[in-house]
Amino acid sequence: MSDFAVTALLVAALFLLLGTGVWIGLALVGVAFIGMELFTTRPVGDAMAVTIWGSSSSWTLTALPLFIWMGEILFRTRLSEDMFRGLAPWMERLPGRLLHTNIIGCAIFAAVSGSSAATCATIGKMTLPELKARGYPDEKVIGTLAGAGTLGLLIPPSIIMIVYGVTAEVSIARLFIAGIVPGIVHAALFMGYVMLWALLNPDQVPAPTERTPFAQKVYASRNLIPVVVLILLVLGSIYTGIATATEAAALGVVGSLVVSAAQRSLTWDTFRTSLLGATRLYCMIALILAGASFLTLAMGYIGLPRHLAEWISSLGLSQFWLLMALMVFFIILGCFLDGISMVVLTMGVLLPTVDKAGIDLIWFGIFLVLVVEMAQITPPVGFNLFVLQGMTRKQITWIAKHTLPMFYLMIVAVLLTYFFPALVTWLPQQMMSK
């Protein structure tokens, strides 16, 4: 049977299982089982048991549920309200004014969340009613929030980076450091767009109701202290070498509990619901990762990744066109799958090809996060679109339409990281060489 026929059969089996409502993780296990049973002589049972246990008991993966729990705890605090009060006075003189609180708020919260959807929801629950009450146009408020919410994936600590790091067997600390400069560039692109739009449409930006004196701005900034301390605790411990990513995640959980207690939002009910929410989300991710590990093993025995790598090499694509092809591939895939599923489904097949093309795996991890960000705002399965649809009751197509400018800016960010790779590689080289 040809490689194309085998691939077509397995893809058909996967879509059939997904179409019948089977969980993604179990669908991956089912496809891997079919592949190994039909096309290899390796006993399936023990291979499945060893692979699933090995993927589930990884120490590095322990950081994932801890960062998820940290985000769940902070989601139930008034951190976003404090951030708005601390940031808003400084935005008065910028073109676009308070629209920038969406972007800067998401960038700051991303540094303690790790999740795009959690960042979008947490900042949105404060900025949406505040900006609406001040007369800012809905399409810009919602569009910038949907786009800026994706910074939750890029600015460390990032759940998707942990998943990629475990799958590709690269340093999660290096990935975290590599995401800082692209995250800042990303936020700057979004803010630049808002400023340009505001300058071209001054009549759509409400005039400031009052001018805040400098001393009062500084005083309002005290509201940012909890989130700044938490960022320093989590990321500072990683970058100074005091803690690993997993240990930093544990520090983050403790810090978020302290913040919640200090704000008097820590009750038995919020503690319990945050723990249960984190457990449910992690169990879903862990099952997907376990299924993907088994599928990767099955693909390896069948030989599909090697044959795919050889086929792509035979096309003679340059690094640039290979990456552009992968970007289009992930954008299309993102219309149907969430980011974590995209990463774990494809890495086993694509990593040999990427490695053979001479692409640095840390750089590729950031490239992958950037294109997965796009998937967060592409219908019909864009998680940020779902979050905002639930919060605003707007049609998902309406939200997607007004998020398009942010989508185009993400493509610009991908091109910038390709033509200026030092945006990704310089900081890890400097910090990890010390």
List of residues 6+ apart from 294 with CB closer than 8 A: 28, 29, 32, 33, 47, 48, 51, 52, 55
The pLDDT of residue 193 is 95
The pLDDT of residue 194 is 94
The confidence band for 380, taking pLDDT boundaries of 50, 70 and 90, is: low
Query: Is residue 292 pLDDT above 80, yes or no?
Result: no
Cis peptide before 202 (omega within 30 of 0): no
The confidence band for 1, taking pLDDT boundaries of 50, 70 and 90, is: low
The residue-averaged pLDDT of 119-124 equals: 82
Least confident stretch, 236-245, 337-346, 383-392: 337-346
Q: Where are the domains of the chain?
A: 58-204+212-266+303-432
Question: pLDDT higher for 377 or 312?
Answer: 377
Distance CA 245, CA 67 (A): 10
The confidence band for 365, taking pLDDT boundaries of 50, 70 and 90, is: very high
C-alpha distance from residue 423 to each of 12, 163, 171, 363, 419 (Å): 40, 22, 18, 9, 9
- Could you give the percent of the chain with pLDDT greater than 90? 21
The pLDDT of residue 88 is 81
Query: Is residue 303 pLDDT above 70, yes or no?
Result: yes
The confidence band for 120, taking pLDDT boundaries of 50, 70 and 90, is: confident
- State pLDDT tens for residues 245-281: 788 889 989 998 998 898 888 889 989 998 998 888 8
The pLDDT of residue 421 is 93
List of residues 6+ apart from 319 with CB closer than 8 A: 357, 358, 359
Query: Is residue 289 pLDDT above 80, yes or no?
Result: no
- State pLDDT tens for residues 38-47: 888 778 888 8
Query: Is residue 422 pLDDT above 90, yes or no?
Result: yes
Kindly tell me the sign of the dihedral angle through the C-alpha atoms of 187, 193, 194, 199.
positive
Contact (CB, 8 A) for 294 and 345 = no
Structure tokens that stand for 37 in this block: 């049973």
Consecutive H or E run containing 267: none
Q: Is 19 exposed, middle or buried (0-12, 13-18, 19+ CB in 10 A)?
A: exposed
The pLDDT of residue 209 is 65
Distance CA 32, CA 291 (A): 8
pTM: 0.80
Instruction: Give the position of tokens 């692409």.
Output: 359
The pLDDT of residue 178 is 93
Query: Is residue 313 pLDDT above 70, yes or no?
Result: no
Distance CA 110, CA 151 (A): 6
- State pLDDT tens for residues 148-170: 988 988 888 888 898 899 888 88
Query: Is residue 204 pLDDT above 90, yes or no?
Result: no
The pLDDT of residue 3 is 64
Query: Is residue 205 pLDDT above 90, yes or no?
Result: no
Question: pLDDT higher for 123 or 180?
Answer: 180
- State pLDDT tens for residues 81-100: 788 888 888 887 889 888 89
